[in-house]
Amino acid sequence: MSELQQFCHSRLSWGLLLLSAIGLELAALFFQYGMELAPCVMCIYIRVAVLSIMLAGLIGILQPKVWLLRLIGMAGWGVAAIWGLKLAYELNNMQVNPSPFATCSFYPEFPNFMPLDTWLPSVFSPTGMCSDIPWTWLSVSMAQWMMVGFAVYGVIWLLMLLPALKLKK
């Protein structure tokens, strides 16, 4: 078995995925409460995409040697990375090309069975505007950094896809 395949079948790989997503969630909360930057609806949706990557890492870390759990974890990771990249791209487009006709909602539209903004409003309730750019680093906005982050998640996902889904011999 190749080294990459062994790595994909280990708890370390899934733990790194989980820890990276936890780090992003903690950074989001620091920006919200430590730096007092108000998250918009799209920011909240991006937060949910990162939470989905965290859940994928948690699923994979439970039993990384079980093919079905790796499949579920990989599927969740891939969907969350693509969805997060799409959301970050849309938010960046709203910020770079502001238009009175392309605005975001003031209220998140979570499904009835999972009203995250009702369950945990301190984390999932938006208070900012999507067109605002409240923070930049190296002249790159938070939405653009998230595009980079989700692209990195996607590239790593592609690199690990085949080795992770191979059955152990």
Structure tokens at 50: 């990162």
Q: Which of the residues 8, 11, 47, 70 is marked catalytic?
A: 47
Would you call 8 a catalytic residue per the annotation? no
The answer to whether 28 touches 39, Cβ cutoff 8 Å, is yes
**11 is an active site residue:** no
> Which tokens belong to 104?
């975001």
Question: Are the C-beta atoms of residues 146 and 84 closer than 8 Å to each other?
Answer: yes
8, 11, 43, 70: the catalytic one is: 43
Nearest-angstrom CA–CA distance, 168 and 106: 49
* Cβ neighbours of residue 2 closer than 8 Å, sequence gap 6 or more: 163
Could you tell me the two tokens for 83?
Answer: 């969805």
Question: Which helix (H) or strand (E) segment is 136 a member of?
Answer: strand 136-137
Active-site residue set: 40, 43, 47, 104, 130
